[in-house]
Amino acid sequence: MPESIENRVKNKISNYKRGKIFFPSDFTKLGSSTAIRQALNRLEEDGFLTRLAHGIYLYPKEHPILGELIPTTEEIALAIAKRDKARIIPTGNQSLNKLGLSTQVPMNIVYLTDGSSRSIKINNGSIKFKTASPKIFSVKSDKIILIIQALKQLGKENITPKVRQKIKEVLKQVDPEVIQKDIQLVPVWINQIIKESVENSDE
């Protein structure tokens, strides 16, 4: 008797470590899109999978004290980007948080992407992908990309000595040649702040 699509999907998932995120497109070779979705829905109903959002499933990992471990919004966003073969850039408060300029962990995250625009509701928050100009994706350093987004979030008039000090520390981790090339792609006022931070890096 042929193995059911549900069992084939379950067996494939079982080959991976718990905590992995899956999409219906991961199982296209096992059956029709309708059959795959029905199989995933049944596996969710059985408690084998956790549904994170429409078309996004988790092979859940249990912690003895904390219970089921749900991936962060960022981890979900990265999984979506990997599936879509798209690049993403964090913006707003998330960029400030990643640079250590804010302790706030935003529930609603916006990413710039070279893929398509869309919004996805995740638990109590959301992920929004906004198609951006190719220019920002020409910046080579991930750290400079974070600096750009953080400064844009703060605004030109709100760049404090603490912010400048943090930028100076981050830029020490970036190749000087990369900095010189990347700053040609940023707004003039951000270019100036980065230049000043590099020039004063020995102070």
Residues 58 and 74 grouped into a single domain:
no
* pTM of the predicted protein model: 0.85
Residues 112 and 59 grouped into a single domain:
no
- Reported as a single tens digit per residue, the pLDDT across 118-169 is 999 987 789 999 999 888 999 999 999 999 999 999 999 999 999 999 999 9
Residues 28 and 40 grouped into a single domain:
yes
Q: What are phi and psi of 128, to 5 degrees?
A: -120, 130
Looking up residue 55, the CATH number of its domain turns out to be 1.10.10
CB of 17 closer than 8 Å to CB of 51 = no
Residue at a domain's end among 116, 134, 152: 134
**Does the pLDDT at position 203 exceed 60?**
no
Higher pLDDT: 60 or 67? It is 60
Residue at a domain's end among 16, 36, 64: 64
- Reported as a single tens digit per residue, the pLDDT across 8-59 is 999 999 999 999 999 999 999 999 999 999 999 999 999 999 999 999 999 9
Helix, strand, or coil here: 185?
helix
Confidence class of residue 102 from pLDDT cuts 50, 70 and 90?
confident
Beta strands in 87-172 (DSSP E): 88-90, 108-113, 118-122, 125-131
**Does the pLDDT at position 1 exceed 50?**
no
- Which domain does 38 fall in, by range? 5-64
Q: How many domains does the chain have?
A: 3
